[in-house]
Amino acid sequence: MIEFKDVGVRRDGRELFAGASFQLHPGHKVGLTGNNGTGKSTLFALLLTQMGKGDTEVTLDRGEVSIPDSWHVAHMAQEVGATTQSAVDYVLSGDEQWYEINAALNDLSSVSDEQIGVLHQQFDEIDGYRTPTKAAQIMAGLGFNTSQHELPVEGFSGGWRMRLNLAKTLMSRADLMLLDEPTNHLDLDAILWLETWINAYMGLVIVISHDQAFLDATVGHILHVEQQKITLYTGNYQQFIRTRHERMAQQQQAFEKQEATKAHLDDFIRRFRAKASKAKQAQSRIKQLERMAELSPMMADNPFSFQFYEPANMSSPLIELTNADIGYSETPLLHNANVQVTPDTRLGLLGMNGAGKSTLIKALVGELGVLTGKYRVSDTLKLGYFNQHQMDILDAKATPIEMLRRLAGKTSDAMLRSFLGSFDFRGERIDTPSELFSGGERARLTLALIVWQRPNVLVLDEPTNHLDLQMRQALTIALQGFQGAVVLVSHDRELIANVCDELYLVHDGIIEEFDGDISDYGKWLAEKRKQENSQDKGNNKKKNKKANKKFVSRETGDDKFAASNNNEQSKASQQPSAQPALSKDAQRKLAAEQRKLTAPIRREIEETEKLLAKIDGQLVTLEEKLADTTLYEESRKSDLLVLLNEQTALQQQHSHNEETLLLSMTTLEEMEAKFA
């Protein structure tokens, strides 16, 4: 159990927490929420400091933090350095105990025979032989295919490195797991898998996330940081919102009552303080005022409040792709695309990672020319385009008001400051160079500059990656009131559900209208994964069948196995043998010796084949369960995710055992070839 007792923390002269007291128990899944700058990352750093980990040391100003000495912690950092280490090796290093023992077993030059035995015992105790399979399962869940396992970490983009960092964190044997924005850079498929993983995790998880749907699906407690206080709520995020609003309403009533009492006391003091007959009563009321606990009024909960301006001119269509092939270097990634953006368009683009959503976006905004077909835009088009690149090219040396003034011409500073204030750029932040901004601040500034330009088409590629829950809420409300067209790519399910009227699916090089809502897309993902797994299983069976053809025994009394049917050996068998023919007794002895030498590998093959047959049966049973259409109803989402997770685990086991079988067969083939 983790216990905070009257904890106070100050950083850079500013008090972040005061009087924080709460308990967190093993198995709890806790969402850590609060406005940017309230101290969420500091709380993580404090926990890491208390456990002797982390790069930033945070000390207590007062109070006490109690954490069991035996506990281990895993922390998902926000940066991954470039390294030549392979992706799978990097992920495996998250299991520090396994990694150290495995490294020692692979280099026995300085290890005694007694130590070797101890290492093998430790390896067996931690179930070390299954650890690589666990790493493969985690990497598959986060979107990595097996061909990427041996690629160096430095060869991946920043977003995929973050996925590797998450995978490394999930590999840890930690009692406490600290996850900071784990859903950033994940597609919906990977987010659904991560939700299942967290729900199955036995330890304590504390997660910072701005994805409301993710929090609702994973956490049972909310730790909220606000006004230097930390409050623990029971329930998921939706329940927290309701409970907090009830508390705020009660606080507002208490505040209003207190203010009325204060006004009455102030009036009495003012009127009678100077009168001798009333002086004693006046002094009593002064002391009463001093004793009153200071209550805060219910503040406006969201510091962001902006809206898109009404577009000046619009015609229809605004953007049109007709029979377009889209791709790179004359190689089409998307075929025969037909997309029309009109003033009423509210379009959400769905598809797996790498399917081509961003490629389609680039074609719609004119960044990527079509290979064939037509691309046309209206003369009235005024585009507002948001993506990561737009954030990265902000003038690093310029302040928000300087960048806005370049667009606003002679508009007064007062109006510019008021506008930037609606995006929570106030005080000194208005005059701070953007190079000093966080990712969330850069995203807000990019959106502010887009809003000011009064677009009639908004094309937004993952606009919420760096935005907190309050800014996401403000963006959702603003988009709902926008009177132009919207094209949206986002893994934020709440944003898509509340903004988009129609959904397009990008898959297998085709763009087509998706008949359903965002929850139906989750079902489509599950069905697609099921089909792909069945196809992979069929391919593996063909591969095994082909491999088995190499091991056909001669049906003769001497039980001698044939060598592989390759051309050289076939030719060799046709040539006269230089060795004298063996007697029948010698042949029997040779066959017995061969059977004795190959018996272990043949037993291994037989056991692996039995295990594969068992897994095949389990997969068939699971597929029958997944065929139940009621399983895809919203009320049975948790049942579906459990089955999908079980299916993924079995498929990974199947793949691992198939590789073992093929290796054993190859070894047997080589042994038999020596006897041929």
Whose tokens are 């081509």? That residue is 356
Fold designation for 319-515: Rossmann fold (3.40.50)
Share of the chain above pLDDT 70, in %: 80
| Choice among 19-28, 369-378, 449-458, 549-558 with the minimum mean pLDDT | 549-558
Q: Distance between CA 140 and CA 193 in Å, rounded?
A: 10
Contacts of 56 (CB under 8 A, 6+ apart): 45, 48, 49
Q: Which residue has the higher pLDDT, 67 or 633?
A: 67
Q: What is the pLDDT of residues 435-446, one digit of tens each?
A: 888 788 888 899
Q: Distance between CA 198 and CA 219 in Å, rounded?
A: 9
Q: Distance between CA 280 and CA 278 in Å, rounded?
A: 6
For residue 544, what pLDDT is reported?
44
Which of 638, 528, 665, 588 has the alpha carbon at shortest distance from 196?
Answer: 638
Task: Report the run of H or E that residue 206 belongs to, with start and end.
Answer: strand 204-208
**In the predicted structure, residue 558 carries a pLDDT above the cut 50:** no
Q: Distance between CA 405 and CA 409 in Å, rounded?
A: 6
Residue 582 banded pLDDT, cuts 50, 70, 90: low
Instruction: Classify domain 1-72+174-235 by CATH number.
Output: 3.40.50.300
Instruction: Tell me which range, 123-127, 295-299, 636-640, is most confidently predicted by mean pLDDT.
Output: 123-127
Q: How many CB atoms within 10 Å of residue 204?
A: 21
Which strand ranges, in their side-by-side order, compose the sheet holding 14-24? 14-24, 2-11, 62-66
| Choice among 199-208, 246-255, 578-587, 621-630 with the minimum mean pLDDT | 578-587
Q: How many CB atoms within 10 Å of residue 193?
A: 23
| Choice among 129-138, 290-299, 618-627 with the minimum mean pLDDT | 290-299
Instruction: Tell me which range, 37-41, 46-50, 226-230, is most confidently predicted by mean pLDDT.
Output: 46-50
Q: Distance between CA 2 and CA 30 in Å, rounded?
A: 12
In this structure, are residues 393 and 493 in contact, taking their beta carbons and an 8 Å threshold?
no
| Choice among 86-90, 176-180, 200-204, 410-414 with the minimum mean pLDDT | 410-414
For residue 291, what pLDDT is reported?
56
Q: Give the chain's mean pLDDT.
A: 81
In this structure, are residues 506 and 356 in contact, taking their beta carbons and an 8 Å threshold?
yes
In this structure, are residues 386 and 451 in contact, taking their beta carbons and an 8 Å threshold?
no
Compute CA distances 134 → 25, 96, 234, whole Å: 26, 14, 32
For residue 166, what pLDDT is reported?
94
Q: 0.85 cut: is pTM over it?
A: no
Same fold, 1-72+174-235 and 319-515: yes
Whole-angstrom Cα Rg for the chain = 33
Share of the chain above pLDDT 90, in %: 31
**In the predicted structure, residue 241 carries a pLDDT above the cut 50:** yes
Contacts of 636 (CB under 8 A, 6+ apart): 630
Q: Distance between CA 624 and CA 627 in Å, rounded?
A: 5
For residue 674, what pLDDT is reported?
65
For residue 473, what pLDDT is reported?
81
Where are the domains positioned within the chain? 1-72+174-235, 81-170, 253-291, 319-515, 523-569+582-675
Q: What is the mean pLDDT of residues 619-635?
A: 72
Q: Which residue has the higher pLDDT, 383 or 275?
A: 383
For residue 610, what pLDDT is reported?
85
For residue 571, what pLDDT is reported?
40
Compute CA distances 99 → 53, 93, 536, whole Å: 19, 6, 30
For residue 548, what pLDDT is reported?
38
Q: Distance between CA 481 and CA 192 in Å, rounded?
A: 30
Q: What is the mean pLDDT of residues 323-333?
A: 90
| Choice among 67-81, 165-179, 397-411 with the minimum mean pLDDT | 67-81
Beta strand 502-507 with 510-513: parallel, antiparallel or unpaired?
Answer: antiparallel
What tokens does 155 get? Answer: 């060869």
* DSSP tally for the chain: helices H, then strands E: 21, 18
Q: What is the pLDDT of residues 489-541, one digit of tens each?
A: 998 888 888 888 899 999 999 999 998 888 888 788 877 776 765 665 455 44
Which of 555, 556, 560, 554 has the alpha carbon at shortest distance from 593?
Answer: 560
